[in-house]
Structures are given as structure tokens and as C-alpha cells.
Chain A
Amino acid sequence: MTASTATQPNRVDGAGRLTPANPVRFSFDGDTYHGLAGDTLASALLANDIHLVGRSFKYHRPRGILTAGPEEPNALVGIARGAARRQPNVRATVQEIHDGLDATSQNRWPSLTADVGEVNDWMSPVFAAGFYYKTFMWPKKAWDTVYEPIIRRAAGLGVAPDQPDPDRYAARYAHCDVLVCGGGAAGLSAALAAAESGASVIVCDERAAPGGALAFETDARIDGQDGHRWATETAAKLAAMDNVRVLPRTTAFGYYAQNFVALAERLTDHLDEPAPSMARERLWQVRAKRVVIATGAIERHMVFANNDRPGIMLASAARHYLNHYGVLIGRTVGVYTANDSAYAAAFDLKRAGADIAVIADIRDTVDPALLEEAGRLGIRVLTHHAVVAAGGKLRVSSIVVRPCRGGSRQVIPVDALIMSAGWTPSVHLFSQSRGKLRFDEDGRRFLPGEYAQDCASAGACNGAANLAATVEEGLAAGEAAAKAARPKATAKPLSIKAESGGSWDGLMLGAGPNPEAGKVVKAFVDFQNDVTEKDIRLAVREGFHSIEHVKRFTTNGMATDQGKLSNMHGLAIAAEALDRPIPEVGLTTFRAPYTPVTFGTIVGHGRGALFDPTRRTPMHESHERAGAVFEDVGQWKRPWYYPRAGEDMAAAVNRECVTVRKSVGMFDASTLGKIEVVGPDAAAFLHLIYTNPFMKLGVGRLRYGIMCREDGFIYDDGVVGRIAEDRFHVTTTTGGAPRVLNHMEDYLQTEFPEMKVWLTSTSEQWAVIALQGPKAAEVLAPFVGGLDLSKEALPFMSVAEGTFAGVPMRLFRMSFAGEDGFEINVPGDYGRAAWDALHDKVAEAGGCAYGTETMHVLRAEKGYIIVGQDTDGTVTPHDAGLSWAVGKAKDDFVGIRGLKRPDLAGGGRRQLVGLRSKDGSTVLDEGAQIVADPNQPPPMDMIGWVSSSYWSDNCGGPIAMALVEGGFDRMGETLYVPMPDGVVEVEVRDTNFWNPDAESDNG
């Protein structure tokens, strides 16, 4: 024995394929252990005779290692690599060990062997299926204070990391002729056949090494070689071909429409010290002309009392640990089976030195060859016998065996039990592809039936009876797929001879024979969610007759393993209880992901700064230098306000608001959406799109326009300038540009295709500076070329083309603040230079830059709406007080009919009004509800809500806009706004708060 195996009591010299000279150190719950390179955490723990690895979800029962693969429901651990890399719920049967691997058991306190939550197990009568639904109904309050905290602590799996994930995740798209999902005997055969004919092939397998079941079926021979060696060499041969990509540690987890398959490739979790440049995982999104599904089959457990004790595992898993990892899971091993394949496991374990205490087989008759071999090896076989209970707690110590029809009990001491109820074909991907499953009555299993996509199943997932059939099906599927993808290619068909001593005959669905029925026992169907046979029977008794309902009531199959072991048992028990055939009870739908996928893999590069694009205006750096505080508006970063030394937000906004009205302010309006509408029918088109009339808008004039949907509700607004007879400059709201362009394109292309109009998005082409205030013209004048800024030459609501400091400019004389003002459009590249130059002059004149908050306050002082803030998709132009903008003489526009709907044209509409807080000081909460009678007992009649609300220094108090039922007829009425600190009394008024009496040509 080498030094490294000296500490591994269950490692068998000469068994398995790992190299004793390659030791690996790892830790589990703080203790250091040794394993070998190539071990999974599960095989390494078993080598150290550790079976107890966790506590269960609901009852906190001690749990061990049940399987040797990705279907593992029990052995979930936390894996840490430093403080930030802590991943919970990692399957020990999948995680490969490496030097320094740090694993911790989960769901136990204070320790794995002494767990306080175990009280749930003794209390289990109250925790039966449906307990959560029935118990925590009342009182409501207890949810926050009692139920939820306790449930969260007691029931649950691992703990999520509390730091950002420091790893990178990659993503790749790929196209291929043939995608093969699964690298076992069937998958490799399919890949080989497809590749030899010249097709481009991707073959993926979820394990580290190819071969699937060949890893433990040591009696398999393919093409004259040991099966596992054939798999290894075939995978290497494929990988060396130019037209093939072999992806180990890669799970095909989702099968979507049109042969779009998602794969998760794990790149670094098995490495000691991955290079920092390496991505941890990679998402492949593969579009394949043909898909071959070669996903194998999963062995089922037997259902009997205490079948979850550590040391009890699937027969194939025990064989896998021995034949691949060289680990013998116990010294005195019992076998409980309904299936031939468990015999092969028993024989292998016996030959490796274990004592096989008994083989209990529920079948009456067993293949004489197996019985003969058992006899030769000195193994006692009890046919028509069942294991009815397991003894021991932290590890199985005995089994109770009885004849199936009842009779005397035998208690047989064991330190491990292996079991097999037969094999469930892995039809998950086929089902995800929307293929229809059919029930195979003879095999009592679901198999692929009618296909919905261009794919084929091969091997054990397709019900192949043995290895020879598996290889044959794989070759045929690969060849057919390649031919379909590349009809002109020619290749000579491959033929590979395969044979195996193993047989997969025999099966058992549902609970095992239990002559001791009636006792309080736990025979687990679903290990991960702690669902027992009794729970499923209870669900049926409670009236749940569809498997979808039984599943939700009991949570059978709803854990992260998605019932890979439990679904068929659960279904059979329900069918038996209902006394109906299995296909009538149905099978639950399989959904992606096949096995859990990290969020990192799904998100890939799209996080942090790359989560969503950030849009910055050309003037952004100037705003940064000026110390602007930014606000996110959609994807845009917009200056919110520009605080000066000592100013908080309120002080800065008050100063900016007053400055604009007293002298001048400038505002970056570049984010406005802009659309150039050009063509002989441009005016007629806008006439149809907007509620306003546009045919008579003169060249050089601007018009505020409202756009409705066909239902009559406001969709967007903006200012439209007529640049020439056939050319308009349209502006939209900041967030509205893409949908407005889409809306216009839709009408132009599909409803008014005869119109000669072209639409071009110019949002990024123009940088826009709004210059507002009494000194605006004076500040602007020195920069302007080719234009007269007098009000006679360039009146309010007009547009002209000229130059700004020599740069081409479209100048709008308009205001969103109710002042004299301009919107200066210059080509985007000149935006910053124009801003900086203008800013100097604005500062000289005693003005300042202002942000979106001031813009909002100033427009609210004038009662101008913001679409999306003062409208919510149910507000008409009339409701918003904008009836003047609806062309009365028009015989058509988008929304003309919608506005005539009785509920829109009738009374009682919510209408936009102004509100004044009677106390002169309270700024109402935006979104607050409005009531007419504050003393009405709840539920109160809510007659409206506050849409905009600000403090206005210019108006000397708070101002607000609100949508109120019949608001236009309520001028002067007192209404009430309940707020967290009390009810605020408000008076209804018009929305023009600023300078309402002055004669204004600027509004």
C-alpha cells in the first residue's frame, strides 16, 4: 500500500482506474482527507469510509451517498474556494476533488452527527404532505414573525454566498450538422458514424470522462476491446477530427424550439488553481440540424422503511465506485433487488473482497445462470423476499428480510446495502423537445413516442435491451442524422460488434412488498424533498387524482434533482392508490434545466456594466466635471442636478429653478428621441399619426403634438418642426423614441403603404441644448450665424436653420419651462464643444446649468405633462386637459374612433388638475391616493392619485398635479390625501401654477 492509500480504508488495491501515485488532499467539515486524482468527492469520502454526508431537507434525517452521478438527490455539500466562492448544494457525486478542495456538509446544526433539527423527524406526523398548505393559514400576522423565520431555518438546503461572484462566465453560439447529447456507448457510436461521413459534430457528456455506464460495466466488450477503453479511445479519436468537437463536463440542459440546445460546460471547478484568465463555466447555445439524444438510463432505488440510511445506495453506484474508483463501499453488503443488474454488482463486490450477506430478490424466478454464479461465489439468494426495514441511524447496521407474502423476519447485520428497482430511461431532453412519450406496458416505462423535432433517441434512453442494441442504435442514429443534414455526402456504414454479460431485465415500480404495513415508517420515494410513500397515498386520499396535483401537494419530484429517481415510483404508487393504469394518471412534464445550472452560466458576460448598455450624451464629461449628480432614465445617464459646495439636492434644485426664471439656464436635452420624417406625403402622414392637424403647419413653424394609440389613449408627445415642405423634425419623449418609430413604421408599412414617406431615427445625430430664461436670446446671440433672433424674425414656436459657432444648427424657439427659450440642435460630435462654449456665457450672465429635476419642476409650474408620469396608458388628451390639441375638423387620425368610445367620451373620467396643499408646506407623495371624505371607514373610495409633486421656490410652496374623477368640475373643492404622517388637505385648482395671470406668448 502506498502512503496515500494508507489513510483510505475502503480503497482496494488493484481495483479501479485511478493511479495511487496521484494523491489529492481535501477537507470535509474541517478535517483533512486523502483521495486520488480522478475521484469525485463522493468516491473520495467513501474511500475514507464516510457515508454520512448531510441532513435531509424537511426531517433533517442523516443522509449518505445514493448514486454515483448527476442524478444524486442526497449528497449535497457546500464547496468553498475562498470567502466569495461558496457554492451550496453541489452534488458530491459530480464534484471532482482537487488539492485544497474545501467541502462542508449542509443543513445541520450544531454538527452533522448531532443535529437539533432532527426534532422534525420525531414530529413528522405533523409534517406530512400538505402540512405547509394547511397549517400556516392563520393568523396572517404570524407569517412574518413566526412561521417564515422558523421554516426558513429548519427546512432548506445550503446557504447562498453573501458576496459577489468573482468568477467570469463565457458564452458561445455554435452551429453543427449533428449534436450528440451523451457520450456513452450510444452517443459515441452516433458521433463516430456521423463524423466519419464528414458531418460537423458536437458531442457532449456531463461527466469528466466519456463512456457512461461503461465506467462500471467491466464485462462490456466493444470492437474487441474493454468497453471503457473503447470509449476513451473513441472519444480521443473524435476529438482529433477537424469536424468534431468533444465537450466533457458539459450538460445538455435545455432543448428548445428548432433544435436549439443549451449546454453548460464546467471549466475550472475540478482544477487546483485555475488561471485567473479562465472562465469558470461556459454556456453553449447550439443550433443543430439534427440532434441525437443518447442520455442513457438511471437506476431506481427500492422503496422500504428507512431506505434513506447512509450506507444504502444504488447497485450500479456501488459497482461504479468499485470498478472505476477502486472503492469498496462496505465489508458486509446486503443486496435488495427486482432486477438482474444488481447481481453483477454483487458479484463484483464479492470478488473484490466484500462479504455479500444476502441477495433479497422480490421476483419468484430469476435467471438460473445468475443463481448458479451466486452459488459458485457462496452468495445466499432469497427469491421472493423483500427488505422491509433497515436498522441503524447514522449508518445502516442491519436489514430486516421477510418473504414477500409475509412470514418470519430475519435480521441480517450489514454495513451497506445496495439496491436496484430497475432502470428509468432518461427521456428528459426528448420530452423538452416536445416529443410525446409513450408508455411501454411490458417494460413499465415511458419511452420516446412521436417526435416533434429533427432528432432521434438511441440506446438506453430509447429502451435498448442491451449493449449490442445500444451501439447498433447509436450507429444508425448518427448515420441517419448525418445523411439528413448533408444529403449529398456519402459514407460507408460503420459496424461495431459489442457484447456485455450484463442484462437490464427486471423492474419494480412503487413501494416494495411491505407485510408490516400500518406501522409508522418512512419509506422514501423522493429523498431530496423527504417525500414518503405514505405522503403520496395521503395525497390521493385527500382527493388529488392528477399526478400534476399529487406532485404539487407532496412536492414529489419538485426538488433540484427533479425526481430523476422518484417520479416513476411516485406515479406507480398514485396509480395503485387510484386503481388506475399508469398512463391514465400521467407523467409530469420535464422542464429545463436537466440538472441545476448556475446563474453565472446563464447570465454570462451580461452583468455589472455589461448587464445593460449605458447611454451617455455627447456632453456627459462636461456634466461630470461640473459635479452633476446623475439620474438613470431608461438606459440614459442624465444630469439630475448640479450641486454646488454645501448644497443638498433641495438647495441645488431651488437655486436652479429660480435662476432659470430670473436670468437663464441651460439643460442637456440630447436624450430626446428624434425622427426625421421626409417625403411628399410627410405632412399627410403626420396628420394621421398625431391628433393635431398638420397639413397647414407652415415651413419654419413648430407644433406640440400628441400621439394616441387606436384606443384613444395618449401614447407619446413631442414637438414637430417643419423644416421644409417635405421634411419634418419630430421629437419624442426620451424613453419613447424606439416605440414611436416602431409605431410610425407599422402604420407606414402596413396601413398607409401608398404614402411616400421615409422615417429615419436621428436621436444620436443631434446633440440638444435647451437654453431657457429671460436672458436666453442675449446669451445665444453671439454664437449664431445666419439668423435673426428677434421675436419678429424668429417668433415663439418656430424653427430655423443657421450656424452655432460655425457649426450647422437647427434652432427651435420653444420652451418646456414657460420662458423665452431655445432648443439648440447641433451635430452630435459638436455637442460638447457647443455646451462648453455656451456654458461660459451662461455663467457670465449669472445663469447656470440645470438638471432633470429642475426641468421637471419648471414644467410642472406651467402644468405641462410628462407622458408616462402624468399619464398611465388610460389617459386621453381630453383627460389631460389637451382638447385643444385634438383636431376637431379632422376626418381621420390614429385614435379618432377610440376617443369616441362611450367610456372615454362619457363623464366621470379622471382629469388632470392642480393641487395646492392647504398647509402651504407639505409636498405630497407622488402616487398618493386622493379621497373626498377622509372619515370614510376603509375601504375608502379613492377618486384619484397624485401624478407629479414638487416644492417650488418660484411659486412659494408645494405644487402638485393629479388625476381626479371629474376633476375639471371640482375647481376650488377641498379633497384629502392620506399620507403616512397624516391626511393632507388640498384644494383643487388649474395646473398653471406659474404666472397664471400674466399675458403670456410663451406658453
Chain B
Amino acid sequence: MLLIHCPYCEEARPEIEFRHAGEAHIARPADIASLTDEEFSRFFFYRDNPKGITFERWRHLHGCARFFNAARDTVTDKFLVTYPAGEAKPDLVEAANENAKGAT
């Protein structure tokens, strides 16, 4: 079971409190009705499946109930950083340094 740091509760909590919600940073286009088939398929069907760092959404369902984003390494299952929904993709080098600082 993973330990996940909720950026709103500012606390690491067990995975059973959370629910995975798919890939992050895929914004619903404001003009969705006018998308071409190709554009819509890119938006709705295509997803990355990286071996390595993935950006994904989680919801702290049995906690604050809020959605947030996370960068996780799919090889080690280690979270590099979690951050509120709506924020830009973080600088992972900086995040790694922050993590290292937090550990000592």
C-alpha cells in the first residue's frame, strides 16, 4: 500500500484513503463541441503509459475529498511530488531536491 502526501491536508496518508483518477494535465478544451474527430480522439482516448515518471491525478476521497496531481515513478512506485490541481507541471529536479532536504 502506497503512502500518499495530500497537498491540501499536508500529510502522508495510506493509499486506501485515495482514489486514482487517470492521467493529469489533460484539460477539457473550452470549445470541445467544435473539435475535429482527430482532436477529440487525442483528448479523450490517447494516454501516455511511460516506464518512468508519470503525471497522474488522485482524489483524497476519504479525507479532504479534493483532487490533486502527482508525479510518480512507475518503476519504483515512488512519488516525486504532489501538488494541487490546476498548478503547472512542477520542476522535478527541484522537487527531488526538496524531497532530499525533507528526508534529512
Contacts and interface: CB of A to CB of B under 8 A. Distances in A.
A897 B32 contact: yes
A461 interface: no
B65 A746 contact: no
A751 B66 contact: no
Contact of A896 (B21, B33, B77): B33
A135 interface: no
Interface in B9-23: 19, 21
B3 A745 contact: no
Interface in A740-792: 742, 745-746, 749-751, 753
B67 interface: yes
B92 interface: no
A227 B82 CA distance: 49
B96 interface: no
Given A287-B3, A711-B44, A753-B86, A746 B67 contact: yes
A490 interface: no
B49 interface: no
B1 A256 contact: yes
A258 interface: yes
B44 A710 contact: yes
Contacts, number: 55
B37 A434 contact: no
Given A258-B3, A746-B21, A901 B37 contact: yes
B3 A750 contact: no
A260 interface: yes
B65 A897 contact: no
Given A257-B77, A749-B67, A751-B28, A897 B33 contact: yes
Interface residues of B, number: 25
A257 B59 contact: no
A749 B66 contact: yes
A898 B59 contact: no
Nearest to A738: B61
A742 B77 contact: no
Nearest to B14: A287
A104 B1 CA distance: 39
Contacts of B76: 434, 452
Interface string A884-897: 00000001100011
B53 interface: no
Interface string A717-748: 00000000000000000000000001001100
A750 B85 contact: yes
A747 to B, nearest CB: 8
Interface string B59-72: 10100011100000
A750 B67 contact: yes
B2 A745 contact: no
A518 interface: no
Contacts of B104: 487
B40 interface: yes
B35 interface: yes
A901 B33 contact: no
Nearest to B12: A258
Contacts of A258: 1-3, 77-78
Interface string A243-285: 0000000000000111010000000000000000000000001
Contacts of B85: 749-750, 753
Contacts of B65: 745
Contacts of B44: 710-711, 898
A613 interface: no
A745 B35 CA distance: 24
A896 B32 contact: yes
Contacts of B37: 901-902
Given A891-B33, A897-B32, A745 B1 contact: no
Contacts of A257: 1-2, 77
Nearest to B24: A750
Interface of B: 1-3, 19, 21, 27-28, 32-33, 35, 37, 40, 44, 57, 59, 61, 65-67, 76-78, 85-86, 104
17 contacts: A256-B1, A257-B1, A257-B77, A258-B2, A258-B77, A287-B3, A434-B76, A434-B77, A711-B44, A742-B19, A742-B61, A745-B67, A751-B27, A891-B33, A892-B33, A897-B32, A897-B35
Interface of A: 256-258, 260, 285, 287, 434, 452, 487, 710-711, 742, 745-746, 749-751, 753, 891-892, 896-898, 900-902
Given A753-B85, A896-B33, 16 more contacts: A257-B1, A257-B77, A258-B2, A258-B3, A434-B76, A710-B44, A711-B44, A745-B59, A745-B65, A750-B57, A750-B67, A891-B33, A892-B32, A897-B40, A900-B33, A901-B40
